[in-house]
Amino acid sequence: MTTTTEPAPVRAPLPSNLAGRTAVLLGGTSGIGLAAGELLAASGARIVLAGRDKARLDAAVGRVSAAGTAAEVHGMTADATDEEALEAVFRRAGTVDHVLVTAGGPSGVGPITELTGDAVRAAIQTPAWTAAAVARAAVPHLAPGGSITLASGILVARPRPGMTASISSAGAVETLARALAVEFAPARVRVNAIRFGAMDTPLLRRNYGAAAGPEGDAAMAEAGRGLPLGRFGTAEEAASAALFLMANTYMSGEVLTVDGGQSLL
């Protein structure tokens, strides 16, 4: 990590300011990460998408390339839990301005006494380790004024039975964001987390057993009706919070909630 005595740069805190900046999206091939790629493309950013599945990656590169006037769109298969794979992603990316980590981990759904010990350990460790591994690999490449954004969820604020392992990991991710904001501040690198409510993505559809397409749309509309705003959030609404945190050069150490009021009820 390169430290500096110069203060962090001041930029107009608008998404238009992301034009020409390089953003690396670990988990950029689906859901919130893919939506962030599309929004960044509309802002004219240079985008590096990474995920494990090659077919999903190729489709995502196509969608992001078609979404706007991206300076460049690159795709790399990588497992974000693997430090060597992360080194390769950041070597290829070169100087990076922003990193978004939406790669999660195993769900670990079930009462903590009924899951196997291995399942509990993996659900607690994987998301927090992934976020830490990405931060370690990214920081030597991040320019002053750059940012890292991590993903959490509102169950941290409103725990539900059967979700203990994954909630614990999300809590660790939030703590990690605040600790890294302090540790990376001398490099003028900002770190934040976003606490997402239930957002309509392939992940949430898997949880509800809902397919992509019109039949799944109807099931998701029905499932979201009881929420404060009468529906789940969209992947774009979630992703726009990530662009806000990237663009605003005075946001650091924050856990931003995007949940349409879900955590209030």
Ligand X SMILES: NC(=O)c1ccc[n+]([C@@H]2O[C@H](COP(=O)([O-])OP(=O)(O)OC[C@H]3O[C@@H](n4cnc5c(N)ncnc54)[C@H](OP(=O)(O)O)[C@@H]3O)[C@@H](O)[C@H]2O)c1
Which residues within the stretch 39-68 sit at the binding site for ligand X (CB under 6 A)? 50-53, 56
Instruction: Work out how close the CB of 93 gets to ligand X at its nearest, in angstroms, rounded to a whole number.
Output: 15
Three-state secondary-structure class, residue 80: coil
Specify the residue, 89 or 187, whose C-beta has the smaller distance to ligand X. Answer: 89
Instruction: Work out how close the CB of 226 gets to ligand X at its nearest, in angstroms, rounded to a whole number.
Output: 15
Residue nearest to ligand X (CB): 31
Q: Which two tokens stand for residue 18?
A: 């992301």
CA distance 252 to 4: 17
Residue 193 pairs in a beta bridge with 150, 255
Q: Is 102 a binder of ligand X (CB under 6 A)?
A: yes
Write 254-257 long-range contacts (CB < 8 A, 24+).
Answer: 254/177, 254/192, 254/193, 255/152, 255/174, 255/177, 255/178, 255/192, 255/193, 255/194, 255/195, 256/192, 256/193, 256/194, 256/195, 257/154, 257/157, 257/194, 257/195, 257/197
Angle at 179 between CA 177 and CA 185, to 5 degrees: 95
Instruction: Work out how close the CB of 170 gets to ligand X at its nearest, in angstroms, rounded to a whole number.
Output: 7
Instruction: Work out how close the CB of 204 gets to ligand X at its nearest, in angstroms, rounded to a whole number.
Output: 4
What are the E-state strand segments in 127-232? Answer: 142-153, 190-196, 199-200
User: Which stretch of DSSP H or E encloses residue 118?
Assistant: helix 117-138
Q: Is 104 a binder of ligand X (CB under 6 A)?
A: yes
Which residues within the stretch 71-90 sit at the binding site for ligand X (CB under 6 A)? 78-81
Stretch binding ligand X (CB under 6 A), from 30-38, 178-186, 215-223, 244-252: 30-38
Instruction: Work out how close the CB of 212 gets to ligand X at its nearest, in angstroms, rounded to a whole number.
Output: 11
Specify the residue, 102 or 125, whose C-beta has the smaller distance to ligand X. Answer: 102
What's the length of the chain? 265
Stretch binding ligand X (CB under 6 A), from 14-22, 28-36, 116-124, 140-148: 28-36
- The site map against ligand X for 216-235 (x = CB under 6 A) is --------------------
Q: Which residues of the shown chain bind ligand X in the complex (CB under 6 A)?
A: 26-27, 29-33, 50-53, 56, 78-81, 102-104, 151, 153, 196, 198-199, 201-204
